[in-house]
Amino acid sequence: MKVLITGANGLLGQKLVQLLSSRTEVVATSRGPCRFELPPGSSYHSMDITNEDQVSSVINQLQPQAVIHTAAMTQVDQCEQDQESCLSVNVEGTRNVAEAAESISAYLIHLSTDFIFDGQSGPYNEEASPAPVNFYGECKLRAEKIVQDISQGSAIIRTILVYGWLPNMSRPNIILWVKESLEQNKTIQLVDDQWRTPTLVEDLAQGCWLVLEKHARGVYHVAGSDFITPYQMALQTAEYFDLDKELIKKTDSSMFTQPAKRPLITGFEITKAASELGYKPHTFAEGIAVMARQISASEMA
């Protein structure tokens, strides 16, 4: 089976290339040049998902049997401030990928988000009714509907607050930010009224593989097992790396002014993914340990 991955330069994209290249033929695609070392069993093609002709040409030329669509504009505040770009990437880009995949009868997996929900009654299962509170969430929900309309045999994987580590990461996630801030003796504030089920990127990549392996259809929630707040995430991070927890200050969402509203309580129930796919994520503490080992191995190399 040949699998094409969009957004391969991103955190999830690179982890998927690493995981799948030992199991099947992988075609990595992203806008611009490849930013990582390709493993054996994979190749790279530049592809801008907002360019309909380019997407159609690349996918028709390569003829993958499956497409995993991870490419997206994910910076929530940027999406709120630059809605035209958000629409172009997250909605029309998804339409381009879905139509090209459908034109060659390729199985499609689309990555979505907890931000399609309003955060009033999490954790959510797959049957919960979406009600986004920001433009990013609106666009990701529109993308889901596009995929469902175009590709009847598709799967949608929703996930939450993905964290992990790569040597060439373009931006930090919550664990790295907390670690680096405390190592520099900086006082940091984190909210304790937003609840999530943070997801280790290796778990998400494994979830994608499990869906792909079964050619599962429909919606799956693939996330972590711990239902915690960013403040609690920071405390666990400080404890693991033996850093000063007194530098971590508890606050709430009312203290922050951000362009995009955040849902307060999301989180996912992962019973469906566990029972139908055999999905079993790490705990948050285990996820920190996985990242720590990767960082340590890189520093020793």
| Opening angle at CA 129, ends 287 and 225, nearest 5 | 15
* Third-level CATH fold of 2-161+201-223: Rossmann fold (3.40.50)
- Section 236-260 average pLDDT: 95
pLDDT score of 152: 81
Q: What is the pLDDT of residue 168?
A: 83
Residue 163: phi, psi to the nearest 5? -130, 155
pLDDT tier at 283, thresholds 50, 70, 90: very high
Q: CA-to-CA distance for 298 and 301, rounded, in angstroms?
A: 5
Kind of pairing between the strands at 25-30 and 248-251: unpaired
Residues 6+ apart with CB under 8 A from 154: 98, 107, 108, 109, 110, 147, 148, 217
Percentage of the chain beyond pLDDT 70 is 100
Distance separating alpha carbons of residues 252 and 127, to the nearest angstrom: 29
Read off the pLDDT of each residue in 199-212 and give the average, rounded to a whole number.
Answer: 98
Residues of the chain with pLDDT > 90, as a percent, come to 95
Burial readout 160-195 (b: 16 or more C-beta within 10 A, e: otherwise) = bbbbbbbeeeeeebbbbbbbebbeeeeeeebbbebb
Mean pLDDT calculated for residue range 7-33: 97
pLDDT band for position 7 (50/70/90)? very high
For residue 301, pLDDT beyond 80: no
- The residues spanned by each domain of the chain are 2-161+201-223
pLDDT of res. 189 = 96
Least confident among 56-65, 203-212, 291-300: 291-300
pTM: 0.97
> What confidence category does residue 273 fall into, taking pLDDT thresholds of 50, 70 and 90?
very high
